[in-house]
Structure 1
Amino acid sequence: MVDNIGGSGSSNNEGIIKEQDRLLPIANVGRIMKQILPQNAKISKEAKETMQECVSEYISFVTSEASEKCRKERRKTVNGDDICWALATLGFDDYAEGMRRYLQRYRELEVDNNNQERGK
């Protein structure tokens, strides 16, 4: 039996999430791993599976912390600020700062794009 981690995704009637629904797609994980390696490098299936488990667990861990914050604040939607807060709370300060900068740039681009759409 697989633990119900996270709370979203496809599940059966008993509330149990299937293995393939709780993990990131292995093809995506492999593609991301290849980006940092030299072109001629190969990645074993075991390495991809290990990384798949790790990153899926990490995302679940951070999301769970952010979700708990939202629950305490009686909100239903987890947003980018909640993820940044969770990263910092869990001791991932370096990641939290990078994520805050990314989120700020993303929001600025969204405003610019919306302004351009209105101008057309």
Structure 2
Amino acid sequence: MVDNSEASPSKDLKEPERLLPTANVGRIMKNILPQNAKISKEAKETMQECVSEFIGFVTSEDSEKCQKERRKTVNGDDICCALETLGFDDYAGPLKRYLDIYREIEGVKVNQSKASGSEDQMQENLFMYTVK
């Protein structure tokens, strides 16, 4: 979630502060490609800029909606709505399903930790829940 109360426009941020870390972007790229594939530094930096710009684009839409509704916090549903508004329907649907599953798992995790207190049992149950 993003708190808009102290958010400043991305133009006020220094260049490295507005970009995702290159190592993280590279790791995600590497997970998608075949093991023997290599990724140039230039490719990682280009993807880093694209992904950061996309996140800023969606977040800006979220922020406007929250300001109109006089809310200070952007939530997962806002992101799904912004993706749809911006024409990224192919992403909004899967993200909404992921968000629903995430919320269910978090609810299960909280309830189980209160009931049993066994971390190992909780992990096993969560694994079984996600495999279904």
Compute the TM-score of the two structures, normalised by the length of structure 1: 0.87
Higher relative contact order (CA 8 A, sep 6+): 2
Match of 2:34 in 1: 38
Structure 1 residue runs of 5 or longer lacking an equivalent are 1-6
For 1:16, the aligned partner's letter is D
Residue 37 of structure 2 corresponds to residue 55 of structure 1 = no
- Per-residue deviation, 1:63: 0.7
**By percentage of residues, which structure has more helix?**
2
Q: CA RMSD in A?
A: 1.7
Q: Would you identify which runs of 4 or more consecutive aligned residues in structure 1 move more than 2 Å?
A: none
Residue 25 of structure 2 corresponds to residue 29 of structure 1 = yes
Match of 1:119 in 2: 115
Compute the TM-score of the two structures, normalised by the length of structure 2: 0.79
- Per-residue deviation, 1:16: 2.2
